[in-house]
Amino acid sequence: MALLVIVMATISPSLGGFLRGRTLTSEVQRFISLTHYAQARAVNEGIPMRLWVDPELKTYGLASEFVFSQSGLDAHARTYEFGPDILMEVDSRSWASLTGDRLALQDRWAAGQPASGSTGSRSQVVFRFTPDGFIDETSPMGLWIRHQSPQLSQRGRGQSDPRDEVYVGQNLSRLRYEVQTNQIAGIRR
């Protein structure tokens, strides 16, 4: 029995890091899978798809930009909550804002598709996928998915452990979202 207690005391600290990493990894994989699903659905249905993230409500989801059913609801819409120890921070810069394409941003505003999303939530940000499957130029460049631990809360955001955050951003060809290395994410900040 004493041997079991010694082994558990030795393994416990590393086991916590393992479980924390699994939570972060599964959330990142689910978000990236949702971006792939959004692109495939936009192409298959021929209408824009909106993947929205609301960091304040700790939710994200996918819905069609236009609904043609009698109920007025998207039957294939998805909504997810991320875990209580996961934080998402959106990199709200877009390709249109970086290149100075004011017409794209104005067209998006005129079409009633503000960057804040359709529900009126101020914190909601929309990633838009066009009917040809491409990422809309007004979509955010990416987002940080972070594991919030008690130590992180005490140290403050600026001193977080690099293993506790992942940047999901547009790849260099701007065709999809993927996990970026810390060097690329650091440059984009």
Q: State the CATH number of the domain containing residue 31.
A: 3.55.40.10
* pTM summary value: 0.69
DSSP at 163: G
Report yes or no on 48 lying in a domain. yes
What is the rounded CA–CA span in Å between residue 120 and residue 69?
Answer: 22
Instruction: Give a yes or no: residue 69 inside a domain.
Output: yes
Per-residue pLDDT tens digits for 126-147 = 899 999 989 998 888 999 988 8
For residue 143, the enclosing domain spans 18-188
Residue 112 has a pLDDT of: 44
Q: Is residue 96 part of a domain?
A: yes
49-63, 83-97, 150-164: which range is least confident on average?
A: 150-164
Confirm whether 34 is domain-assigned.
yes
Total domain count, the chain: 1
Whether 165 maps to a domain, the answer reads yes
Tokens linked to 174: 């701007």
- Look up residue 153 and give its two tokens: 């809360």
Task: Please indicate, yes or no, if residue 9 is contained in any of the structural domains.
Answer: no
Give the model's pLDDT for residue 160.
52
| Position 25 in a domain | yes
Say whether 143 sits in a helix, a strand or coil.
Answer: strand
